Structure 1
């Protein structure tokens, strides 16, 4: 790979690049489509999967196909009237309510953390280093993910050299690029030191126990207690979280996902009087629509305040 290819590849986030490659493979290999594609073939592809894939998934497939054609210098067939009309028809005939992860409540966070603390002590007393490391990692991942409202991909991309943590004071987490950061300015997030359920203490204990000095913060651990050099795969976060919840006695653990931490924090913040602007700035949401997807109905006036803020923003932009 020459420098030009390296810069072109760096312009697209790795998880986006991988998901687009998967979408192209699905169109070309699994469905049997040909590239470059015609508008008719793309429309037939949508129709074929209308009953099995969500509208959001179909939109993602179209975005991947559009990027492939543009990068290869071909006309983009996804923007043609027939493709757009078919997609509108699918939306009309197959409406589906957006599935949202169940938010993790503060009392549940405490229940899981207490279970992890007990499991850490037990594993240490029994000399089971692999189990002890896994529980310490999971505790740090859980508490940092909740109190910072991080998405799953942010937790997997967090690196030790980009974290500064001081016991009893707080920590900062820097990301060279975040979602929506098209200019690669980088973003720094701060996390508080708390008297209980502290993300800073959990992070420092995990780093100390694992003896890690640089690289990804959250990694895989084998049965012998060897910590991987690679970051946890984004697809492994949901099983890790659900296993924690199930082992700690949280019912219906299958209803939770990586978004449960962010939704849980947003619900906690709004129910404790955070105004919408503060919440959006803290989490890193750039628009009100993003915030509305995460604020839980535990605060019956939260959506009203968000909608009011949205109207105010639209008036200012006129």
Structure 2
């Protein structure tokens, strides 16, 4: 690996081996072939399916890419990728640390290099082999990289309340054929911001995960979102829930946005894409009054129906859910339309924007952690310092 070229040529033998077995790079393809020889295709397929689902898609995607790069380097250098020599791993990590992009900046950050080591360790563990990354030579190499770099992590800009209003101002115009995209995108931005949701959590929601309940303190409707799985709870065993109250203004009310979107989905299911323009003309939506009070539920009860499907430019609704990457691209797209630099924003901007805006509004650590489902107070403190570095700071008591 050179310091100027970060494009790694993957030999055909490596590509061929990686195509075998299940989608997960952590599952031993040789062992899985033995399963196919001992059991019928249906049983072996069920095993492979559940083994592939044991890791999150993002983890599998990242680890697979890292393993391809490591295998390609080993093939080019005449080294053995599995089991790996710890010294080979250390040399590989050091070479990757020195690699630079065309513009001169580092090709890989310290966190990415640690993930590369984690991928190598995970594949060794899946094959019953000791991890080469636990050796002193690898650990000290990573420590030296961290001490040498001393760079601050590049965080995306949070979507604060005024930024959110800028994004909402760029929603498509009401009417056909942009109305489905307008209603869906409005709900994504409001739910992602007020619910402090990760982009993967937004993409993974199903219609049956969201319901309208009554806030017994105010007598107003509220949204209750049952998260099927999260980054910190991939199996959904803890049953994490997010509550969103009725907004003070109809245009930014999450419950009204959910009501409008569900009613459009019901009309689409009943009349199809061809009948939707006529339905929209017969049921115009005003923005000066709340529409959520009369919502009593939905007729859409399919547990596999995604809440946020893909929407075509012709107004058609897809059968598959948006991806987490599509959610991030949505935020970037509306930032660009608002005249903001889209490279400064990501899908995480909605979640970080909630924490920062809540800290600006005087919310306590406990309140922010509860809604955002953070377990580490240090994470929340980072958002608070971003919001107001002088808040709760002894320097204001010095009397200078």
Q: Normalising by the residue count of structure 1, what TM-score does the alignment of the two structures yield?
A: 0.84
User: Residues 360 and 384 of structure 2 are in contact (CA less than 8 Å); yes or no, is this contact kept in structure 1?
Assistant: no
Matches within 5 A, 1:149-168: 149-165=196-212, 168=220
Counterpart of 2:319 (choices 226, 229, 241) is 229
Matching of residue 193 in structure 1 with residue 236 in structure 2: no
Matching of residue 22 in structure 1 with residue 65 in structure 2: yes
d(CA) in 2 for partners of 1:296 and 1:134? 36
Matches within 5 A, 1:209-224: 209-211=264-266, 213=300, 214=302, 215-224=305-314
d(CA) in 2 for partners of 1:302 and 1:177? 34
Partner of 2:170: helix, strand, or coil? helix
Matching of residue 36 in structure 1 with residue 126 in structure 2: no
Question: Per-residue deviation at 1:301?
Answer: 4.6
Larger radius of gyration: 2
d(CA) in 1 for partners of 2:325 and 2:392? 30
Aligned length, in residue pairs: 296
d(CA) in 2 for partners of 1:134 and 1:93? 47
Q: Superposition RMSD on alpha carbons, in Å? A: 2.4
**After alignment, is 56-65 or 212-221 more displaced?**
212-221
d(CA) in 1 for partners of 2:123 and 2:391? 40
Question: Per-residue deviation at 1:30?
Answer: 6.6
Matching of residue 170 in structure 1 with residue 222 in structure 2: yes
d(CA) in 2 for partners of 1:140 and 1:120? 15
**After alignment, is 259-268 or 161-170 more displaced?**
161-170
Q: Normalising by the residue count of structure 2, what TM-score does the alignment of the two structures yield?
A: 0.68
d(CA) in 2 for partners of 1:206 and 1:159? 13
Question: Per-residue deviation at 1:3?
Answer: 4.8
Question: Per-residue deviation at 1:243?
Answer: 1.2
User: Residues 24 and 65 of structure 1 are in contact (CA less than 8 Å); yes or no, is this contact kept in structure 2?
Assistant: yes
d(CA) in 2 for partners of 1:45 and 1:172? 48
Counterpart of 1:133 (choices 175, 180, 189) is 180
Q: Deviations over 1:2-28 (max 9, x none)?
A: 554444444322322232222222222
Unaligned 5+ runs, structure 1: 306-318
Counterpart of 1:203 (choices 258, 268, 284) is 258
d(CA) in 2 for partners of 1:36 and 1:120? 58
Q: Corresponding residue for 2:332? A: 242
d(CA) in 1 for partners of 2:71 and 2:151? 27
Q: Deviations over 1:213-248 (max 9, x none)?
A: 342212222233222222212222222111112223
Counterpart of 2:56 (choices 1, 4, 13) is 13
Q: Cα distance 1:113–1:22, how it changes in 2: closer, same or farther (>3 A)?
A: same
Partner of 2:241: helix, strand, or coil? strand
Counterpart of 2:158 (choices 80, 98, 103) is 103
d(CA) in 1 for partners of 2:341 and 2:347? 15
Matching of residue 53 in structure 1 with residue 108 in structure 2: yes
Partner of 2:223: helix, strand, or coil? strand
Question: Per-residue deviation at 1:289?
Answer: 2.6
Q: Cα distance 1:154–1:286, how it changes in 2: closer, same or farther (>3 A)?
A: same
User: Residues 306 and 321 of structure 2 are in contact (CA less than 8 Å); yes or no, is this contact kept in structure 1?
Assistant: yes
Q: Deviations over 1:71-127 (max 9, x none)?
A: 1111101111110011111112222210111111212212322332xx332xx1xx3
Question: Per-residue deviation at 1:35?
Answer: 2.5
Q: Cα distance 1:239–1:4, how it changes in 2: closer, same or farther (>3 A)?
A: closer
User: Residues 262 and 294 of structure 1 are in contact (CA less than 8 Å); yes or no, is this contact kept in structure 2?
Assistant: no
Q: Cα distance 1:238–1:287, how it changes in 2: closer, same or farther (>3 A)?
A: same
Q: Cα distance 1:21–1:158, how it changes in 2: closer, same or farther (>3 A)?
A: same
Question: Per-residue deviation at 1:182?
Answer: 6.6
Q: Cα distance 1:31–1:207, how it changes in 2: closer, same or farther (>3 A)?
A: farther
Partner of 2:386: helix, strand, or coil? coil
**After alignment, is 148-157 or 25-34 more displaced?**
25-34
Counterpart of 1:84 (choices 131, 139, 144) is 139
Q: Cα distance 1:60–1:295, how it changes in 2: closer, same or farther (>3 A)?
A: farther
Matching of residue 273 in structure 1 with residue 328 in structure 2: no
